[in-house]
Every structure is written in C-alpha cells, then in structure tokens.
Amino acid sequence: MTLAETQALFHALATGEEIGAAEAERLVLSTPELPAAERIGIYAGMYASRLVDALRADFPKLAALLGEERFRVLGEAYARAHPSAAPDIGRFGRHLAGYLRAYPARGRPDLSDLAALEWARSEAFFEAPAGPAGREDLAALGAERFAAARLRLVPALRLVRLEHGVVPLWRALEDGAPPPPPVPGASAAAVWRRGFDVLHAAIGPEEALALEAALRGEALGEICGAFAGREDAAEAAFAALGSWLDEGWVARVD
C-alpha cells in the first residue's frame, strides 16, 4: 500500500460512521488485547470529540441551549457535512449557522440565528485592531466633501442579518435565565469589539441598511440615504454616524 493509499483508507475509517473490522485489519496490526478496529476507533473518538469541543468554544450559548447530548449529535452531523478545511480549528464553525437552517432535528427555529450571532462574535474577537476615527474626523470634512467621503470600518465590525430576534435569547443564556420562546421577524444586530471585549446590539432596519452600505464602501451620501424615508432623516443619519464613531466602528474617514 502506498503512503497515499494508507492515508486515504485511514482517513475514511477514522472519520466515517463505522469502522469495518476487515478493512481495519488490512491497514493496521492487531494485538490480542487491542484489535485493529478498536485501535482506529481511538482516533475516531478523538476526531469527533475535538471538533465538537471546538464548536462548543465558539458557540457556548447554542451549546447551553441544546444541552450536552443534542449539541454533540449536532456537532458530529455538522462535521460529516462540513469537515474542517483550514489548519486553524477556530475556522471549523463557519458554516454552522447555514447548516442549522436545514438541520432536521433543530427543534427551535431560531438556532441558526443564534449561531450566526455567536460566529460573528467569535470572528470579531480575532480581528486586527484599527483606528478608531472620532467625531472630529467627520466634522473636518465640511459640507463640501461630506457626501462623497467614505468610511473605512474596523475589521472587527460585523452586521448580522437575523430571521429571529435572538439578542434577548443570547442575554437570557448569558444570565442563566430561562430562554425566551423564538421571536420570528427580520432584524439585524451589529457585533464589534471594545478593547478585547466583544459586544453586540440589535439595530433598526434603516441603520442596518446604512451599515451595509458603509461595509460595501459606499460614499456617505449613499449611507445617509438609508434614512431618507424618515421625517427626521438628517438627524437620524447623524445620530447613527455619531454612535458608530463613538463605539469605535470607524477606522478612518476618507
């Protein structure tokens, strides 16, 4: 057996759902006290548990909500559908929110949204620091340059589109309180970092549109246009921009 064949067979056995005794015998040595299939089974057990542990670290609220056994079953099913594709095990959970949308045993319909929020928090934690710009940088533009100026947002900022309002659910799980029932309805949350603390907050539909425009690199005129339907459009836009600057979401004003 070549090295490539050896690795292909071992990988298939140790990451598959069952280990065939005959195939195991063909690959590795048995001893009276420990047959080949059991030996490979040690690796299979560690493979699954390590991946589930990695998910638990990145999705602590989802794990708390589901409980140990249901979370393990979910994690192992997810690992079969989306095997890790990066050297950093911290990237393994990036498809979990999408996977949960179609996961048959999910129970609550808001698990995918909770996972999306937790994943954004995990990503924000590891992003590079940048800026921040302040209100004075916006003021320095003057009326002439304002509409065409662009905001460079910090790498640690995320906008999460949600189909359920999971911010109260996250809070209840954080506090160890009983989880509230799912709240259907489109909403959005922003996730960011202050120092090394990751924060998130629900944001309204206009601010979410404005933030999306800013993340796309649109000019300030376009960003403020998100509030155009409001009577107090200018005040609302400036209030939002001011809070972005105060929270350190803006690295630079160009």
Q: Which residues bind other proteins (CB under 8 A)?
A: 1-4, 6-8, 10-11, 14-15, 26-29, 31, 33-34, 36, 39-40, 42-43, 46-47, 50-51, 54, 83-90, 92, 125-129, 155-156, 196
The answer to whether the CB of 117 falls within 8 A of the CB of 189 is yes
- Report, in Å, the least distance between residue 150 CB and other proteins: 22
Smaller CB separation from other proteins, 50 or 161 = 50
How far is Cα 194 from Cα 214, in angstroms, rounded to an integer? Answer: 20
Residue type (1 letter), 166: V
Nearer to other proteins, 10 or 99 (CB): 10
Query: 166, 181 in Cβ contact below 8 A?
Result: no
* HSE-CB of 156 using CA atoms within 13 angstroms: 25
| Cβ 152 to other proteins shortest distance, Å | 15
Of residues 129 and 168, the one with the C-beta less far from other proteins: 129
Host H or E run for residue 240? helix 233-246
- Residue whose CB is less far from other proteins, 45 or 242: 45
CB of 146 to other proteins, least distance (A): 30
Query: How do beta strands 151-153 and 250-253 pair?
Result: antiparallel
Q: If you compute the radius of gyration of the chain from its CA atoms, what whole number of angstroms results?
A: 24
Q: How far is the CB of 173 from other proteins (least distance, A)?
A: 21
Provide the minimum distance between the beta carbon of 232 and other proteins in the complex, in angstroms, as a whole number.
37
Answer whether 180's CB lies under 8 Å from 168's CB.
Answer: yes
* Residue with smaller CB distance to other proteins, 91 or 101: 91
